[in-house]
Amino acid sequence: MKPIIIPLSMSSKYLIPCSDGYLQVDTGYELDYPVYRKQLAKAGIKLNEIKYLFLTHHHDDHAGFLNELTRDADITIIAHEQANELLKTGKNDKSHGGGYVNGVINFVAGIKMRFDPRWTLSFPPFNLREKDSLVSAVDDQLLRKIGIEGRILTTPGHCVDHIAIVLDNGDVFCGDAAASFLLALGTRYCTVFMTNMEDAYRSWQKMLDARAKVIYPGHGKAFSAEKLKENMGKVKTENLVRFF
């Protein structure tokens, strides 16, 4: 069964059926919430059918409307253990370095940041709750308990608190661990911003070892896992264009 895609500004969110409703992969920017509600209605899904929110990582365009979502629906969040502190700061983590994947992206992102009010690299702080689930290693049980045949992998490289879902059928919900966005500008299936390329490619290998077939990224359209093999190692950590 194909996942339901909820398109938001610059990113896609996915709904995976679970035993009592849906698990949603990520939220969007804080400002995306009204659009999200509209897109959800357009897909014929009621907000109270969303039972779980799988947070691939803490960034502004993935964690932006967690407050609104948990205010309006009874949702359990699944996140990386390290997301706990990062979400409280309300800022994309800058303590582990990182940069844009090449000079062209650096130039384009500089312009975008100047004119797009959403590009602040910050978001409303969020405190994970007692009922939320934190993972810190590969987890083969959590998703199965809620009726999803798949496992959770830790996938650092884009940022330290990154996790992804690999279903037994080969569908991968990779968040920003890989992307098919701005490929013409040489992103080589990476997200525009990366922290550590050695970690990132180890994460790609983990997904391939878990028999990944189709990658559903946070940014861009679904693509074949073959692309990860073909582009492995193409971007080097030392070539990232640092901006903090």
Closest residue to Zn ion, judged by C-beta, is 59
Nearer CB in complex with Zn ion: 132/176: 176
Nearer to Zn ion, 59 or 118 (CB): 59
To which residue do tokens 């990860």 refer?
228
Neighbours of 208 (CB within 10 A): 17
Specify the stretch interacting with Zn ion by CB under 5 A; choose among 43-51, 52-60, 140-148, 225-233.
Answer: 52-60
Applying CB under 5 A, does 59 fall inside the site for Zn ion?
Answer: yes
Instruction: Tell me which of 36, 176, 189, 194 binds Zn ion, using CB under 5 A.
Output: 176
Closest residue by Cα to residue 216 from 141, 165, 143: 165
CB of 104 to Zn ion, least distance (A): 19
Q: Which region, judged by CB under 5 A, interacts with Zn ion, from 63-71, 83-91, 93-101, 173-181? A: 173-181
Nearer to Zn ion, 22 or 181 (CB): 181
Residue ranges of E strands in 19-155? 21-25, 50-54, 76-80, 99-100, 133-135, 150-154
How does DSSP classify residue 117? T
CB of 41 to Zn ion, least distance (A): 26
Which residue type sits at 214? V
* Three-state SS letters, 203-234: HHHHHHHCCCCEEEECCECCEECHHHHHHCCC
Terminal Cα distance for the chain, rounded: 42
- Nearest distance, CB of residue 159 and Zn ion, angstroms: 6
- Considering only 98-106, 120-128, 170-178, 227-235, which stretch makes contact with Zn ion by CB under 5 A? 170-178
Q: How many residues bind Zn ion (CB under 5 A)?
A: 2
Nearest to 231 by CA among 244, 166, 165, 194: 194
Binding segment for Zn ion among 7-15, 51-59, 78-86, 208-216 (CB under 5 A)? 51-59
Question: Which positions touch Zn ion (CB under 5 A)?
Answer: 59, 176
